[in-house]
Amino acid sequence: MPYNDFLDFYYDGWIETLDWLAQPDVDIIDVGHYSPASKADEVTLRAYLVDLHRQVLDLVRAGQSWNQLYRNIRFSEEVKRWIAFDTMRTLNIMGMYRWVSNHRRGEW
């Protein structure tokens, strides 16, 4: 599970970095938190971040407040089994909500 509330993160850059990590021929990646990861783990992390971003963006565009939004984010059964899910899920939503609220554009 990504650590904390993504303080000072750049979503587009993180996705770009995860795309880059999927390229090299490596077996183990030191992610800095928890245990080392494989390329498959990083691909799964990318899918999680993209899904979380999409859900938060859709709910913000639908006019949901934080109080509504964080209750309406859905996680896959796989993500629910990740290390620190119970500790980090609301913080992850909060960080993505902050990012989306500061960087979204309306739909025209």
| pLDDT tops 90 at residue 92 | yes
> Token pair of 89, please?
């899920």
For the chain, give the mean pLDDT: 89
pLDDT of the residue at 66? 94
Q: Which one has a higher pLDDT value, 105 or 62?
A: 62
Rounded Cα gap, residues 64 and 104, in angstroms: 14
DSSP conformational letter for 37: B
Place of tokens 């245990």: 35
Cα 38 to Cα 18, 42, 91, 96: the distances in Å are 12, 7, 24, 24
Which of 47, 27, 46 has its CA nearest to residue 37?
Answer: 27
